[in-house]
Structure 1
């Protein structure tokens, strides 16, 4: 009420300043009525904005509280010194460690180097800096194929189209045709209806961004000022990025503690008149679990809301699992209500990095991801995705990978990968000290512990050459199986190392973590998430600094 009275007084004063003399003859009661009405409108507008903010009231209160504390010099100085220590520790990790004989190039060579010199320098750099031994299957995900013949084929095809650009379809019609064929092949894989269509993107993140942009446009057309996306906590962070980029609101819903699937009842409760999209993963990244797509699609039909299936990770496994002997519940366009699907060709599709596909159930929906500037002086500008110019060589190499593998090739690779993943899951399901999250049935196995800091296991496996993914909320680590893990003895070696490292840790389960494990555990416990952002900024700065 105080805010209303203050707004009324301010409006009254300003009205007196600007109204013409003949209007000043109005009765005081009439002027007050105008002032009260204007003040009420202002207050209601502010209240609407306050209640419909992208962040919850609790989150805004926390942000304000932490921001106030950070403004205090003594607190800010302490926080800065601690952040500096963390970033210093990060630069000691293998990825940033300086090697003897390492040379940093910070300006162009005075004269260009010849081909042999360039190749030699690149080879020397690779050998000097090293990295995780991904060729021996020691990395989680990262590199998904294990065929030198495929690698040579893709490089040869890429070299023929390295300078092509689908932005100029009239100059490079072959690239236009290849992109169209890639999209249509993926549409068929996911049982798209007659009008199903799609586009290629630079990766899963861009595919998700494009889908969210399309649904945002639908929201705008319905008069929704801030369209909302309802997604599981396990949904990929690209949905967070999309909401930040496109002025949308992401409503996270809880997972079932046992299955790690999205809680359908919680999703139903989260739907509002501003909801434009429901999200399910097939499978989700953290724990490798497939959400109940049929139940999510039923909600989409009931509330006339779009449903996106994020199959970026497993998009070139799940369509082939039934033929490979691993049937799954329906997850694609065969489920009425599914309106879009994202699938990465550069993962289990074995295409080069920088390629993905976004699919839509109709051309009308795809139109809403397009950008068109009809009045630009340079001509009518139209692009299907975020990028203008795109790498035609990547499109050609993606097409080549799919043609090289064929249906039988993908079925064979799926059978190998899923068989290895299920061997790992069964072998680790009863190891004392650790447990497996949910019931993963594709290629990812996530491990947790109620007895010790699970990040210690990740660090111990790191010392044995393994490079795993570190997860949070809850603390866990996971391995994403690829064809590299299906090579003789790799899966067995992983199981053996996990068992041996766990047994060693269980001798002193309460011991403190050190190194990167301690940093990650600490970051998870920080209540002010803006500090974690600053740590991430520092990490990215270090990655982009040639001198580290």
Structure 2
């Protein structure tokens, strides 16, 4: 985060490169005009192809920038400006990396490494009760729960469910975690097509990747689709962008409605003969709002395509909230048309990090997730998920968490966090400068401001130790309430009121804050340039 803050002070400088270039190289541009006119035909031809993928505005800008970079010196200038940013980032980050190990120690440290790890851990920020999401267990029982899952993980740290015949215990743990999760999400309903089934994965992103890959291959086998497309609301998780890139699927992002839900009518207009999948979230990560899963299910069933529901956040909250009497709309396999669901056990399931579940309505769809290799000299090979070897210790830890907490425990946890969410929303409504984005259905609450820079407010909150999530379109921030926050809602609201007052009295970016980068990114017309800057930042940080 500190490195990202260092990026902020250089963003405005980088943004101005185009105007500076044009003012410095105007004669070159005039000389090049005849050449540019010659390539106009090629420009128009490329534009037509890109419009169908990205829309008119983005296509015009993208193609223009592509041809603008062909002007001699422009690309070199851009690369030079980006390198300046990267160099400054590397320079500011260098001091933190001094003393980092770059090769194996000559003599092993043995148990001395534990002391080294304790020293490193002491440098982490104070996250207890201050982070949006991140850590989901808290309270008087947290120490005992951490000890329990840590012991379970350690007991099975050597295991690998790839070896089904050797580690039968952890194979059973995975099967039972999947079955218990499915039981919460409609497996006992009368679902046609066979028994709900699934596998554990390393997290929500892998669960989504697996669901998209399975949907692609299932629709190819069923309908012969070889140029697959999927349609998602703009609020859907960025994991779908990864899936589109990894699996060569055209991705359509559709605007949400005025309630910030997936617009089923708009999504329906994008469905064509190549559509394999549409997506809904319960709730969506940005604003904590449940998409109209029933409407999306009707669409999927009508057109004979797949529907994936992202329950990574809601899987271990919504079933219990419904039992507690909250007005939760249908969201799971009880909805006709839902073909797959992703659920993170390491969030509100309170399992160790790196545990999620992907579920399918039937075995026919799940079989499309598997990879079988018959011609390898190493023997016959089959694997269910992205990874070959998988950490059996995490699977055992997830099983231990579900079995130790139980139905009554999850009901009580859900009652606490849902009540905390309501207290937070009430407090936000009392701060006149802020507004809540949409109507949150669960424990993610997003808020913005009509007259103040919400990112400046976020920077002040960061200086007070709070770690929130910055959002865009609309500019806002959110907090994902966990058991960590149940006892600190009042403190959060007090700090938020003080931060709002500070920005009112002293508007302007905080030194080292994130407001400049979000503000600059929002004004950059070329989103490809924003992406390049993010990639260069990540490359310099790893």
Which range, TM-score by smaller chain?
A: 0.7 to 0.9
2:108 pairs with 1:108: no
Partner of 1:130: 124
Partner of 2:420: 420
Partner of 2:386: 386
Unaligned runs of 5+ in 2: 1-44
Pairing of 1:501-540 with structure 2 (within 5 A): 501-509=499-507, 511-512=508-509, 514-515=511-512, 516-540=514-538
* Secondary structure in 1 matching 2:505: coil
Q: How far apart, in 2, do the equivalents of 1:233 and 1:536 lie?
A: 20
* Secondary structure in 2 matching 1:446: strand
Q: Which protein has greater RCO, CA pairs closer than 8 Å, 6+ apart?
A: 2
Cα distance, 1:359 vs. partner? 0.6
Q: How far apart, in 2, do the equivalents of 1:540 and 1:360 lie?
A: 34
Cα 1:80–1:160 change in 2 (3 A) is same
* Secondary structure in 1 matching 2:425: helix
Larger radius of gyration, structure 1 or 2? 1
Conserved 8 A contact 1:86-1:519? no
Q: How far apart, in 2, do the equivalents of 1:227 and 1:324 lie?
A: 41
Partner of 1:411: 411
Cα distance, 1:346 vs. partner? 0.7
Cα distance, 1:86 vs. partner? 4.5
* Secondary structure in 2 matching 1:256: coil
Cα distance, 1:139 vs. partner? 0.4
Partner of 2:82: 83
Cα distance, 1:65 vs. partner? 1.9
Partner of 1:372: 372
Cα distance, 1:54 vs. partner? 4.9
Conserved 8 A contact 1:140-1:478? yes
Cα distance, 1:245 vs. partner? 0.6
Cα 1:67–1:425 change in 2 (3 A) is same
Conserved 8 A contact 1:197-1:360? yes
Pairing of 1:205-220 with structure 2 (within 5 A): 205-220=205-220
2:318 pairs with 1:338: no
Q: How far apart, in 1, do the equivalents of 2:451 and 2:74 lie?
A: 34
Q: How far apart, in 2, do the equivalents of 1:284 and 1:481 lie?
A: 14
Cα distance, 1:307 vs. partner? 1.1
Q: How far apart, in 1, do the equivalents of 2:236 and 2:372 lie?
A: 30
Partner of 2:497: 499
Cα distance, 1:190 vs. partner? 0.2
Cα 1:405–1:167 change in 2 (3 A) is same
* Secondary structure in 2 matching 1:334: coil
* Secondary structure in 1 matching 2:470: strand
Cα distance, 1:374 vs. partner? 1.8
Q: How far apart, in 1, do the equivalents of 2:274 and 2:291 lie?
A: 23
- Out of 141, 149, 153, the position equivalent to 1:158 is 153
Cα distance, 1:73 vs. partner? 5.1
* Secondary structure in 2 matching 1:123: helix
Pairing of 1:65-464 with structure 2 (within 5 A): 65-72=64-71, 74-84=73-83, 86-87=85-86, 96=93, 98=95, 103-115=99-111, 117-127=112-122, 129-131=123-125, 133-135=126-128, 137-146=129-138, 147-192=142-187, 193=191, 195-221=195-221, 222-257=223-258, 259-464=259-464
Q: State the number of aligned residues.
A: 487
Cα distance, 1:237 vs. partner? 0.6
Q: How far apart, in 1, do the equivalents of 2:390 and 2:60 lie?
A: 43
Conserved 8 A contact 1:453-1:513? no
* Secondary structure in 2 matching 1:252: strand
Cα distance, 1:265 vs. partner? 1.5
Q: How far apart, in 1, do the equivalents of 2:312 and 2:175 lie?
A: 19
Q: How far apart, in 2, do the equivalents of 1:232 and 1:326 lie?
A: 25
The TM-score, its normalising length taken from structure 2, stands at: 0.85
Cα 1:410–1:367 change in 2 (3 A) is same
Cα distance, 1:378 vs. partner? 1.4
Cα distance, 1:88 vs. partner? 6.0
CA RMSD of aligned residues (A): 2.3
Cα 1:336–1:219 change in 2 (3 A) is closer
Q: Could you report, residue by residue, the CA deviation over 1:404-430 in whole angstroms, capped at 9, with x for unpaired residues?
A: 111111111111111111111111024
Partner of 1:26: none
